Every structure is written in C-alpha cells, then in structure tokens.
Amino acid sequence: MRLLRGIPASGGIAIGRGYFLSRALPSSVQSTVTRDKVEEEAAAFLRAVGRSKDQIRAIRDGVKDHASEHYQILSVHLALLEDSMLVDQTVRLVRENQYKADWAFNKVLQNLLETFHRIEDQYLRERGHDLRQIGHRVLENLAGRPVDSIASIREPVILVAHDLSPADTAQILKSPVLGFATDVGSKTSHTAITARSLGIPAVVGLERVTDEYAELDEIILDGEEGILILRPTHEAVREYTEKRKAYLLRIRDLAKFARLPAVTRDGRTLRLHANIEFPEEADAAQRSGAEGVGLYRTEFLFLNRRDLPSEEEQYKTYRRVAEKFARHTVTIRTLDLGGDKFASQIELADEMNPAMGLRAIRFCLKEKEIFKQQIRAILRASAHGMVRMMFPMISGMGELRAALAIVEEVKADLRKRRIAFDKEIPIGIMVEIPSAAMIADLLAKEVDFFSIGTNDLIQYALAIDRVNEHVSYLYEPLHPAILRLVRRTVDGAHDARIPVSMCGEMAGEPFFTYVLLGLGLDELSMNAMSIPRVKRILRKSVAYEAKEFTGGLLLHATAAEIGKILRKKLEDIFPEERF
C-alpha cells in the first residue's frame, strides 16, 4: 500500500481501478533523412498537424456551449497549431537540416516550452501546459499511434495523469470517470474547477503519482482529505468503503435542506447565493439551493484566450446566467483583473506589489473602453433578468463616483440607441479594503447594496500576503479587527437601508455561520456545495441569541480567544455538527 498526499480539489471518496492517461511527450533522437525524402517528411508532419486539428475541432464542436471555458481553450489549442512559430519552424528545420520530423518538432517545441517556463506570469506560464498537450497529440499522430482517449473508457475508473487537458475534461462529461488524480494543479486550476462542477472527487498536486502508479492498480481517492492510496490493503478498502457510505449519507441528508428556506427558528431569513465563474455552474448552484448568484466572477471570461471577448459575447454569456436565475438576483462583478489574475491579451506593467497595484476598479478606470464595453454588456443583459452590477476593490468615494459616472454615460448611449436595459439596475460595491469599511456609512448613501469580500479584507486589514506560507498563520478571520470592520460595514449599510452580503471564503465556512448571523449579514454567497450545510445551521439557530453572543465576542482581544469560545458554543448548540 502506498499513501500520497496532495491538494483536496473536489470532495467525495472514490474506490476503483486506475486508468493511466499518458500525456508525456514521446522521446525523439536526432536523426536525418536523405535529401530526396525531405518533402515527404515535411508532408507527413503537416498531415499529422492536420489530423490533430481535426481531432481537436471534433471535440470542440461537441461542446454545446460556445461561451464555456472548454470551448474557448480548445479554440486556443487550434490557434496554437496554426502558429508559424510551431509549424513553419518545424518544416523549415526539416527542409534546411534534413531532420526527421519528430526530432525537428521536438526541438521547436522544447525551445518554446523553455520560453514559457521562464515567464513569471502564472497564467501565461500555464499556456506551456497547453503547448505540451498539443505536442503530445501531434507526435502520436506523426508516429501513427492512436491518441489515448477518455471517450473510449467503458468501465468506471479513476484517472491518473500528469495533468488533464481541456480536450480530456470535455470528454469526461460523457464517460464513467469516478475521479481524478494528477501530478500538478491547484484548487483554482482548470482540472480542479472541472471536478467540482462535475461533482466528482479529485486530488491534484500529488507531484509524482504518475511515477508511483502501476498499470491496473486499485486506488482509493479521498477528495475531502487530499489523500490517494495505491494498492490499498483489504483493511484500507473496508475503512474507506465505510467512510464513503458515511459521506454519501451526509450528502443525502444535507440535500433535503437545499429545497428549504434559510430561515432561523425565530423567523429571520437570510438569502443564500452562489459564487460562480462559468455559466455551466448555474445548474449545480440551483440544485444546491442557491437563491441567485451573489458573485459572478467575470474576469474568467477574459482568461485563457488570445483575444478580448467582444461586447456581444459578454452580453450573451451574462444573459444566459440571468435567464437561468430568472426569479432571483444575479450579481455580476465587473472586471477584477490584476493582483493574481492576468489576461494574456492585456499588457500590465510589472509591479513590486501587484495586490495593491493597478487592479480591479483601478484598472477599469484607466482602461475605460474595456470597462465601458463590459458595462454595456451587463446593462443589456439586465433586460433579461434580475441583474445587479458590482464594482470590486472600491477604496473611497472618488473611485465610486468615477465608476458611477461611466455607468451613467453608457446608459445615456443605450437610451439614445433605443437598446433595452433595466433602468433601475441595482449597483453595489465590494467592501474589501479597510478604508471602504471605515466610511461604509458614506458609501452606503450612493449605492444599492454592499458585498463584503473577506479574502482581501483580511489580507489588507492584517497586512499579510495570504499565499505567503511564512505569514499564512496570521490569516485570521476571527481577528477582532476583522469582526469589527464587518460590524461597521453592516451598520453603515443598515443605517442607509441597503442590504449587505458577504461573498468571501468566510461566508461558505460553516464554522463562521453563527457569527455572521450574529453580525447581521442579510445575504451570504459561497461555493454551491457549502449551501445546504450552511442552511442547516441557520435553520437550527436563533437570530437574537446569535446577535447577543456575537456582541460578547467583540469584547475579546485575540482571534485565539474568540475561536475557542465560538467552538465551545457551537459544540453546545449543534452537537451533531462536525466543525
């Protein structure tokens, strides 16, 4: 038995036979052809490229939603195969040096991969993975070998791979795959997001699982704990079979709460919304009981592609989500690029501290044409549902008024052109900078709602880089300063009679639900899988008792003290819950 630990990317437990999906580049040795065979060699390479394009195009055309991430990335793969850097240089090397095509192509590919490897930008660097996946396909076609396809899998299996390409994940939708285990990846990687949207367990970032795996190995995959067990003992299989039964029972028990309102025992109702990144997540959000979308991260429409999305493409995408939630609000956040999210088609200067640099609303106010185009698309979509518009990273009144002025300018243009939109579309801001929380009473007079983004609020208030492992222990949601900033924001909103939501990770963590109820939040927005459990806790709570308890918490001096008192309280009133 061999136990490996990775990153828990998608919950659940799978037990079954492994299926190794080889995506390593076949090795090549330097070799040449005779002069009279050069054109024949070049033609064979071009046929392999053409076959690869046909295969990718066939997979892409099987994806119904042309606005989906799958479709977009497969289009990027097609475009890369038309790039002269890749194809023309290979043909040139074959003709000028009489290299065999596989050696010439490998040489060009490795040079490009080294270039991508040196790029500091994470998103651009990940395009190297795309290139590697394309290279694998071309070389297999050149050798006349079939490209290992998920579509051919007929029995339930757990996939083991270095990484999965968009072409792979597009085929998983129609295959009996029980789960994924990959060498690379993070919680925000394409593979992890796909696993969550499909509702199957996944562990990523296992580093060497493809080295450790042997053909036909039995596998236990624990997506809750980030554990993968190869060649498990009978005892381990029995143990995880019981764990899996318990997990499925918990999910089944929680599922009934999805259909119930989030109302406390003393009659206070909170609206629970979902955070989404892609339109295809809307169905899962509705099944989990989401009463709308509290955070639609539109920047993902701008990533993993070569060009900027047009106004029409944005409009159709936003409209699709708005129509899906026709009876509920859909909160569309305007672009939050910069920081840790970059679009390859937008050039941003290197910054010493990008988290506090030209990002989010600051970027939009600088790049007004991109901002106006998105606002037009959101306003047009508002004619087809209950759409709200939300600005990220507002630090003060100046930025807010500048953004609102641009919205009014776009509205006037639409009215002039007789294009329909919701004239009363609610406009709100994310409160994620301490300065915004401190003047919440002033900002609340100029907007229709607040949404507290706790990920950044904690980062900025406590001056810690949340991805820096040396200071991550200081990331404390229960720090007295954070609780007081949230309380101040809620009070400012309620004094102005506007609702206040929370859409950061804190909102979806059941351990904090009772405190957030006590702080007076009106709405909570979270990943869809968390909604049933948060709803169950709220339905067992008494709002006025939570308010009184939380008031007492604010008098304590440290996060450790507050956490200890909170845990004791939760164990007393929710003995059946696991925190």
Least Cα distance to 293 among 263, 255, 333 occurs for 333
User: Which residues, other chains included, contact 353 with Cβ-Cβ below 8 Å and sequence gap of 6+?
Assistant: none
pLDDT, position 535: 95
Looking at residue 230, what is its pLDDT? 95
At 471 the pLDDT is 77
Spans in the chain with pLDDT lower than 70: 24, 64-70, 72, 84, 117-127, 129, 151, 166-167, 170-171, 173-174, 187-190, 193-194, 197, 303-306, 338-352, 466-469
The CA distance from 9 to 223, in Å, is: 6
pLDDT of residue 305: 63
Tell me what pLDDT residue 153 has: 82
- Closest to 296 in 3D by CA, of 503, 499, 522: 503
Strand blocks (E) in 291-426: 293-297, 329-333, 386-391
Q: Report the distance separating Cα 40 and Cα 33, nearest Å.
A: 10
Q: List, by residue number, the catalytic residues.
A: 190, 503
Helix, strand, coil percentages for the chain (3-state, nearest 5): 55, 15, 35
Say if residues 255 and 532 touch (Cβ distance below 8 Å). Answer: yes
**Which parts of 144-221 fold into alpha helices (H)?**
166-172, 190-198, 209-212
